[in-house]
Structure 1
Amino acid sequence: MWGSIFFTDSDGAAVLLRATDPAKGLQWAGGDVEFTDPSPLHTAVRECFEETGILLEPDPERLPLLATVVEQPRNGWPTKIGFAFFGGALSPEQVAKIRLDPAEHTEVLVLTRDELAKTVEPRRAQLTLAVLDAVRTGVPAYVVR
């Protein structure tokens, strides 16, 4: 199980992190639930701070659920369930202040829906587009992939 925090910029574009491992592509701040994490929201908040320096409170009222993601078994992994929570819209100054862990990420990118569809691998783009739709509509996505 995993938890993540998804941010947009003030114009509604996706804020993404480029993984140091090219096979992992563009990501949101997040990771796998650890034994000490009481919930996927706590995981998302912990990982967000570790990966970006952005400290949030694990409050479901302030970090609403955007998506439940069921990842079907593939490449030797069993089924995984993930949860994406909305961290809000970041100002250009907040995006510029993101502190990356160089062992995990190399850069911050801000991509519009059109840029996502044109430049990001389709499987990853589809998930981020579903989450952007959830931000826009307020209706959490349920994604099986």
Structure 2
Amino acid sequence: MANGWLPPAEYVRTIARATSYACLYFTDVAGRPVQLRAVHAYEEWQCPGGNMDPGETPWQCAVRECLEETGIVFDGPPRLLGSHFIGHQGEAWPANHIGFVFDGGTLTDGQIAGIVLDPTEHREVGVRSVEAWEGLMTPVNFRRLKAIDAARREGRVAYMETP
């Protein structure tokens, strides 16, 4: 090791580990967020999405997970609404977790009614105003939902951190 340089494989062992997720944020025609109710997860209500597979980009993950979880074939352009850093949670999640939330656009009532849930992952589709979601979500997830909704309305990208 000359001048502190390490071969990449050794260097990677010295830096923080992280997992990544990606999802699509949808609203109905009235601008209300569409969320899926998980069968078993600490995040009971969530956007269609999930953890990235090896070799997958965040965008590819969001589109794949959306198809798997809703049956929606999303072919819109990748428009990032926000990123979310969640710090190491000990044994509950022993790595940092980094998320990418993309804009899925607006779904019609017919598209929402046509969602086909994977029963091993989700049991319900919910459509409510941002304010109505507050009592149904964990505080962390509600802050993310509120920030993502504001970012979309304001035409900007949100950055969130959860220590």
Pair in the same fold by TM > 0.5: yes
Residue deviations 1:75-95 (CA, integer Å, cap 9, x gap): 242111110000101111111
* Equivalent residues of 2:80, 2:103 under 8 A apart: yes
- Cα 1:128/1:111, change in 2 over 3 Å: same
Matched residues in 2 for 1:21 and 1:92: separation?
A: 26
Where does residue 98 of structure 2 map in the other structure?
Answer: 81
Q: Write the letter of the residue equivalent to 2:67.
A: F
Where does residue 20 of structure 1 map in the other structure?
Answer: 39
Larger radius of gyration: 2
Compare 62-71 and 101-110 and name the one that shifted more. 62-71
Residue deviations 1:41-91 (CA, integer Å, cap 9, x gap): 00000000000000023x6xx231001110111124211111000010111
Matched residues in 2 for 1:133 and 1:76: separation?
A: 28
Identity %: 35
1:137 aligned to 2:136? no
Three-state SS of the structure 1 residue aligned to 2:42 is helix
Where does residue 83 of structure 2 map in the other structure?
Answer: 68
Deviation at 1:24, TM superposition (A): 2.7
Compare 79-88 and 18-27 and name the one that shifted more. 18-27
Three-state SS of the structure 2 residue aligned to 1:130 is helix
**Runs in 1 of length 4+ with deviation above 2 angstroms?**
117-121
TM-score by length of 1: 0.92
Q: Unaligned stretches of 5+ in structure 1? A: none
Size of the aligned set, in residue pairs, is: 141
Where does residue 128 of structure 1 map in the other structure?
Answer: 145
TM-score by length of 2: 0.82
Q: Unaligned stretches of 5+ in structure 2? A: 1-19
RMSD: 1.3
Where does residue 53 of structure 2 map in the other structure?
Answer: 34
